[in-house]
Amino acid sequence: MTTEQSFDYDLFVIGGGSGGVRAARLASQGGAKVAVAEEYRYGGTCVIRGCVPKKLFVYASRFHGEFEDARGFGWDVEPSGFDWTKLRAAKDAEISRLSQIYLTNLGKAGVTAFEDRAVVTGPNEVKLVNEGRTITAKTILIAVGGTPFKPEIEGAEFGITSNEAFDLEALPSHVTVIGGGYIAVEFASIFNGLGSKTTLAYRGPSVLRGFDEDVRAGLTEAMETRGVDVRLNASPKKIEKTNDGLRLHFEDGSSLETGLVMFATGRVPLTEGLGLETAGVTLGRNGKIEVDEFSQSSCPSIYAVGDVTDRVNLTPIAIREGAAFVETVFNDNPTKVDHSQIPTAVFSQPEVGTVGLTEEQALEQVGAIDVYKSQFNPMRNTISSRVERTLMKIIVDQASQKVLGVHILGPDSGEMTQALGIALKMGATKADFDATVALHPSAAEELVTMKEKSYSRP
Ligand code: NDP
């Protein structure tokens, strides 16, 4: 006869961010005894120093362009200044409110929430570092997320990352953002909009590698037009402290003076010092936890969700992975997360919205495609005299006529993309798009009025 080993908890979650909190609440609501530990602040990257404060800063930075555009519509607007400390304080108040909601919701769901660092000390054991207490759990879920990565160049310590960017004492007069991914283009747009002289230094030939090529080229050009000094093929080599600020040197021998350097050079999973070796958990590139499609690690009692697994590093995906984990482990319903056709937005200025395959990916996966492409000056720009063309691209599988991808560069493209995601998930064809009546006048109507294909490939 075998006796069930008894544990302090059915589930112990390390990390109080989006994925961990969702899993903890769902498991507890289903009757499991659950605890979660968070070493910093409940809410995780998204709430504390990611999506939420970033979007608040994006809203703040957009007013600059709005004030400019307003003149064409008859408004006599002359902003008298921008108060960074006021924005920072308002942002702090909002994230404190949200963080408290996370804690309250955990309590309501019956989850024990520790405000302490927890490390793994065995397959079914964690230790609360400050309290010094060891706790056992039948299942452990690692949801500790990631952290910004800085390249190992001389003087890298003089540069900040997005972690610090949210809490700067003052708005920098000249900032140089290194990188060309989501965070780099978003922060360059924020600083530029708020009034800092802004340089974006990217090592590649066009920002947002992996996105649609026309979107990449269009965004690079639009950011330049809006005033960002975009330096391409610029690989950072060294940062030097000077009397006035910093000097950033590039591999090609050029350099520039700047007040602040911000690295937006990617993020890495936060597994260092987490004790995962004590449970035989296999780690992959950059320390990510290797998991199967049910988020189970090489140690059967340990699972991982979200950015720490470096699959698709987006908040809604971490939340889905957390929910699927609970279905699999606690509800006897093995559930995988579908990582395809994920709508995503880059909150640059102008904004990017994208869902499905890029032209190149579609070509590789299905062979023959039709491309519908439109570039137009949105109505709002006519009177405001802004020169910034919106780009829309629809990628269609030639054989089935299914829409494989939609890519938009322009205002509100993120909002449009959320709805487009439903159509793509349902398997919409180009004919379905055509059969949908246009909503007039809007920019989005272009998505259903592009009747003539622009070209076919191969
Ligand atoms: P990304 O991986 O998107 O971009 C990293 C950038 O840094 C790339 O342009 C990369 O260049 C460059 N880079 C990497 N290493 C070096 C180096 N040694 N020297 C110079 N440049 C370097 O990471 P982010 O930090 O921008 O964002 C992390 C993730 O967070 C994103 O992938 C996304 O999943 C998520 N995120 C999502 C947001 C949203 O949904 N709106 C917003 C912000 C983040 P190269 O292209 O040549 O490799």
In CATH, what number is assigned to the domain containing residue 298?
3.50.50.60
Q: Which stretches of 251-325 are assigned E, i.e. beta strand?
A: 255-258, 260-263, 267-269, 302-304
Q: What is the CATH number of the domain that holds 367?
A: 3.30.390.30
Nearest alpha carbon to residue 220 among 192, 186, 185? 185
Mean of pLDDT over the chain: 97
Residues 276 and 166 occupy one common structural domain? no
Q: How many A from CA of 382 to the centre of ligand 1?
A: 34
Q: Are residues 165 and 86 in the same domain?
A: no
Cα within 13 Å of Cα(11), Cβ side: 32
Q: How far is CA 171 from CA 88, 147, 195, 424, in A?
A: 10, 23, 8, 41
Distances in whole angstroms, Cα of residue 374 to Cα of each of 284, 371, 446: 42, 10, 8
Pocket probe for ligand 1: among 58, 235, 267, the residue whose CB has the most ligand atoms within 8 Å is 267
Name the band, by pLDDT with cuts 50, 70 and 90, for residue 3.
low
Give the Å distance between the CA of 267 and the centre of ligand 1.
Answer: 7
Rounded mean pLDDT of 234-244? 97
Could you tell which of 177, 182, 267 is best to mutate to test the pocket of ligand 1, judged by most ligand atoms within 8 Å of the CB? 182
Query: Is residue 177 predicted with pLDDT exceeding 60?
Result: yes
Cα(269) to ligand 1 centroid in Å equals 13
pLDDT at 254: 97
Confidence of residue 261 (pLDDT cuts 50, 70, 90): very high
Burial of 341 (0-12, 13-18, 19+ CB in 10 A): middle
d(CA 392, CA 185): 19
198 & 132 share domain: no
Residue ending a domain, among 278, 306, 329, is: 329
pLDDT level of residue 154 (50, 70, 90 thresholds): very high
In the reported structure, the alpha carbon of residue 265 is separated from the centroid of ligand 1 by a whole-number distance in angstroms of: 5
Count the neighbouring beta carbons within 10 Å of the beta carbon of residue 111: 25
Per-residue confidence at 5, pLDDT binned at 50, 70, 90? Answer: confident
Q: Which of 56, 57, 177, 183 most suits a substitution to test ligand 1, by most atoms within 8 Å of the C-beta?
A: 183
Domain final position from 265, 298, 319 = 265
Is residue 119 situated within a structural domain?
yes
Q: How much is the pLDDT for 1?
A: 47
Residues 351-371 have a mean pLDDT of 97
Atom of ligand 1 minimally distant from the CA of 315: 40
Please tell me the residue having the least CA distance from ligand 1 atom 29. Answer: 313
Q: Are residues 320 and 362 in the same domain?
A: no
441 and 373 housed in the same domain: yes
- Residue owning tokens 């590649």: 204
Q: Are residues 258 and 365 both part of a single domain? A: no
Nearest to 274 by CA among 122, 46, 103: 122
**Which residue ranges have their beta carbon within 6 Å of ligand 1?**
151, 178-184, 186, 202-204, 209, 235-236, 264-267, 313-314, 344-347
Ligand 1 atom at minimal distance to the Cα of residue 312? 34
**Within-domain flag for 1:** no
Ligand 1 centroid – CA 89 distance (Å) = 27
Is 315 found in the same domain as 178? no
**Ligand 1 atom at minimum distance from 185 CA:** 26
CA distances from 14 to 28, 203, 264, 275, 327 (A): 15, 36, 26, 12, 19
Mean pLDDT of all residues in 349-353: 98
Pick the closest to residue 428 from 408, 442, 453, 448 (CA basis).
448
State the distance from the centre of ligand 1 to the C-alpha of 306, rounded, in angstroms.
Answer: 16
pLDDT above 90 as % of the chain? 98
| 2 inside domain | no
Q: Does residue 207 lie within any of the structural domains?
A: yes
C-alpha span between 296 and 280 (Å, rounded)? 13
Number of domains in the chain: 3
Q: Please check whether residue 376 lies inside any domain of the structure.
A: yes
Residues assigned a catalytic role: 440
Atom 2, ligand 1: residue with shortest CA distance: 266
d(CA 345, CA 407): 10
- In the chain, the N- to C-terminal Cα span, in Å, equals 66
How far is 165 from 171, CA to CA, in rounded Å?
Answer: 9
Q: Which atom of ligand 1 is nearest to the CA of 204?
A: 47
Amino acid at 86: K
Does residue 335 form part of some domain? no
Give yes or no for a cis peptide into 300 (omega within 30° of 0): no
Would you state the pLDDT for residue 411? 97
Q: Which two tokens stand for residue 335?
A: 């559930």
One domain for residues 443 and 370: yes
Are the beta carbons of 145 and 306 closer than 8 angstroms?
A: yes
- Bridge partners of 58, per DSSP, are none
CB 449 within 8 A of CB 438: yes
- Is the pLDDT score of 2 beyond 60? no
DSSP assignment of 93-105, as one string?
A: HHHHHHHHHHHHH
Answer yes or no: is pLDDT of 73 > 70.
yes
298 and 176 share a domain? no
Q: 215 Cβ partners below 8 Å, 6+ apart?
A: 208, 352, 354, 391, 393, 407, 408, 409
Q: Mean pLDDT, to the nearest integer, of 195-202?
A: 98
CA distances to 91, 352, 440 from 407, in Å? 31, 8, 20
Are both 431 and 370 inside the same structural domain?
yes
Judged against a pLDDT cut of 70, whether residue 221 lies above it is answered with yes
Average pLDDT for 47-66: 97
The strand ranges marked E within 251-402 are 255-258, 260-263, 267-269, 302-304, 344-346, 352-356, 369-376, 390-397
Same domain, 273 and 257: no
pLDDT in tens, 265-293: 999 999 999 999 999 999 999 999 999 99
Closest CA to 404 of 422, 428, 438: 428
Q: What is the Cα–Cα distance from 78 to 67, expressed in whole angstroms?
A: 8
Q: Is residue 225 part of a domain?
A: yes
Asked which of 248, 265, 282 is the last residue of a domain, the reply is: 265
Residue 337 lies in a domain: no
Residue 8's pLDDT band, with cuts at 50, 70 and 90, is: very high
Report pLDDT digits (tens) over 290-319: 999 999 999 999 999 999 999 999 999 999
Residue 320's domain spans which residues?
9-147+268-329
Residues 43 and 78 in one domain: yes
Kindly give, in sequence order, each residue whose CB lies less than 8 Å from that of residue 191, ignoring residues fewer than 6 positions away.
Answer: 61, 171, 172, 175, 177, 198
Return the sign of the alpha-carbon dihedral for residues 86, 58, 418, 102.
negative
pLDDT in tens, 388-431: 999 999 999 999 999 999 999 999 999 999 999 999 999 999 99
